[in-house]
Amino acid sequence: MTTPSEHPDWTTTGFSTRAIHAGQDPDATTGAVVPPIHQVSTYKQDGVGGLRGGYEYSRSANPTRTALEEALAAAESGGLPSTPDGSPAARGYAFASGLAAEDTLLRAVLRPGDHVIVPDDAYGGTYRLVARVFGPWGVEHTPVDLTDVDAVRAAVRPETKVVWVETPTNPLLGVSDVAALAGVAHEAGALLVVDNTFATPYLQQPLALGADVVVHSTTKYVGGHSDVVGGALVVATGAQLPGGLASPAGGTDVAGAVGFHQNASGAVAGPFDAWLTLRGLKTLAVRMDRHQANAAAVAEFLASHPAVTEVIYPGLATHPGHELAARQMRGFGGMVSFRVGSEAKALDVCARTQVFTLAESLGGVESLIEHPGRMTHGSVAGTALEVPDDLVRLSVGIEDVEDLVADLERALA
């Protein structure tokens, strides 16, 4: 007979079981099945240095954030064995936003003079951070079509320390071969970092394909309800800093460097935000099943509409990355982009929908529509990453799909 404190090894269970249980044991004092919100800044010490559970100040660690970080690490490390000493296959870190997570990672693994390869259709906020914040700091970057492995290999320099991948990309939904790019990065002594926001850990697990670090804007699908902003890093156990770099805390492991910078910079997730994100993670699998079923139906409708000149969705056989996505992912996701021939028409469609809400962001239960060129990707206008001005991006929600199709039909009429 098991005692209440015993539980299975969550690393051997399915995704939904891990997402619901990992890092979330019932509260030891009350038996509450949901981790409480530890809305506290500091913790009583039992004598100087006598910390209870290692907690002293909530910037450094908070029990609610710890629960989220352990759950995210378990969600992303499916298919990876524990290390020989029994420690987890990955370590999670939760931040105040996705860009806070990215900034912390880049500060931890780069130094002036280093070089980063980025997607030539990267998320605008990521490109702005790399080009306009880290550029003046002395970090160079090269935008590359990451669907072309040879092009990535050709862009590698001796100074390349990070190959940054989004797959699928935002908003053009390009699909990159994570395993092949991991090979290119590691041959060069660089880290492979994968932004897994669009795919989510339910549909794709880059660490199992060779990535060193996974990035999330947990604001999106992980939170899933458009009510919390957050970000996360999940670092593979054993990942080493590039180029012989040492962490300010000592050691050469990426996880240790990220942990040091998370505490030193302090852009951490607050306890209530962590609790909301943890709640969203529990239902990620069932929501994603509905998101992608609806997205497939919407994409098929758009592909047959005479006013639409192109539909971009990895689930369509016409998508150039369709076969790779089918191998690399559990499903094709909930994002659909399409083109209508002119900016004026794109803006008109965005203005006409009633069920799709005109708004930035994505991944919530409600359907959203936006014009990337004027909205989320305005910061890359005039650069190599500029998106087509007739592009419309949909975040397909979990409403009744008949209503979503009817709404788009009205908007396109």
Catalytic residues, by residue number, are 59, 123, 195, 220
Whole-number Å distance between alpha carbons of 278 and 398 = 20
CA-wise closest residue to 215 among 375, 76, 118, 109: 76
Whole-number Å distance between alpha carbons of 46 and 310 = 65
- 12 burial type by CB count under 10 A (0-12 exposed, 13-18 middle, 19+ buried): exposed
Whole-number Å distance between alpha carbons of 38 and 22 = 18
First to last CA, the chain: 65
Q: Which helix (H) or strand (E) holds 235?
A: strand 231-236
Which residues on adjacent β-strands are paired with residue 235?
A: 91, 213
285 within 8 A of 16, measured Cβ to Cβ: yes
- Residue bearing tokens 């936006």: 370
